[in-house]
Amino acid sequence: MTSVSLPDPVVLRTGPPRVDVRALERALRERAGGEVRFDAGSRGAYSTDASNYRQIPIGVVVPRTVDDAVQAIAVCREHGAPVVSRGGGTSLAGQACNVAVVIDWSKYCHGLVSVDLAAKTCVIEPGIVLDELNAQLAPHRLMFVPKPATHDHCTLGGMIGNNSCGATAHAYGKTVDNLVRLEVLTYDGERFWAGPTSDEEYAAIMRPAAAGP
Ligand SMILES: Cc1cc2nc3c(=O)[nH]c(=O)nc-3n(C[C@H](O)[C@H](O)[C@H](O)COP(=O)(O)OP(=O)(O)OC[C@H]3O[C@@H](n4cnc5c(N)ncnc54)[C@H](O)[C@@H]3O)c2cc1C
């Protein structure tokens, strides 16, 4: 029997972000629509997901619209507060909890915006739950096929964040294999669509450069 010496575990201890929490809460109430919750009960409720991790958030914003969330993130940026998005909170490795302002997309931002029957695509808001999306798509004989075991609770935003898969992945691929375009909002406030660029779009983008200064 030989003994092996293992390295000491690396423990990262980070202090709480230096944020004026009262001023942040006030600004969120004034400028971001939706529910702004900084009470101990709400922060406790959002402190964990399906993992063993527990991180008490600075506060919680439940935006009523996508534009409310855009405003909330702008306020957080101005106050130097980190943010973390949350869908169903079924992540297994702490992805949906942090010492940050939690943006909960699941309560209001869960619309099926449009369906393109010819292209077999749809546009959704990120808080829609997978089973709810598929119930609404069923009359069109369409479905979003990646199926985590949490399909009755997980949201499309969370599935994209985790690149979720499940029992159907062997046949239909993971979430990333079933996305066409994403509307992205960065912490810096940039908001843009990302996806494949057609030859026509590429030519239009390159035209001003080709014309020169
Ligand atoms: C019992 C159990 C079984 C599971 N089975 C599977 C399985 O079969 N396959 C599988 O892949 N996973 C599985 N999971 C993991 C998890 O359920 C899935 O990954 C699920 O799709 C996560 O969705 P959610 O809405 O709960 O995401 P959340 O946990 O809320 O968030 C996931 C990530 O996405 C980010 N996010 C959420 N919304 C947004 C948004 N609008 N914009 C930007 N980022 C966002 C979050 O910040 C986080 O990083 C399982 C979990 C449990 C507890």
Q: Cα 4–53–29 angle (5° rounding)? A: 150
Ligand 1 atom 4, closest CA = 149
Share of the chain above pLDDT 70, in %: 95
pLDDT of residue 20: 95
Report pTM. 0.90
Give CA 200 to chain center in angstroms: 31
The Cα 111–Cα 108 span in angstroms is 8
What is the pLDDT confidence band of residue 6, given thresholds at 50, 70 and 90?
confident
Residue 14 has pLDDT above 80, yes or no: no
pLDDT for 57-97, tens place per residue?
Answer: 999 999 999 999 999 999 999 999 999 999 999 999 999 99
Cα–Cα distance for residue pair 44/47, rounded to 1 Å:
5
* Secondary structure of residue 156 in the 3-state scheme: helix
CA–CA separation, 65 and 22 (whole Å): 24
Structure tokens at 144: 């979003």
Handedness of CA 174, 193, 112, 120 (dihedral sign): negative
Question: Which sequence spans correspond to the domains of the chain?
Answer: 21-104, 112-180
Q: Which of 62, 84, 91, 99 to mutate to test the pocket of ligand 1 (most atoms within 8 A of CB)?
A: 91
Pocket test for ligand 1, best of 73, 129, 162, 178 (most atoms within 8 A of CB): 162
Q: Are 50 and 132 in contact (CB under 8 A)?
A: no
Helix, coil or strand: residue 183: strand
CATH fold for domain 112-180: 3.30.465
Q: Which residues contact 69 (CB under 8 A, 6 or more apart)?
A: 32, 34, 61, 63, 103, 105, 109, 185
Domain 21-104 carries which CATH code?
3.30.43.10
| pLDDT over 90 at 5, yes or no | no
Mean pLDDT (the chain) is 93
175 CB within 6 A, ligand 1: no
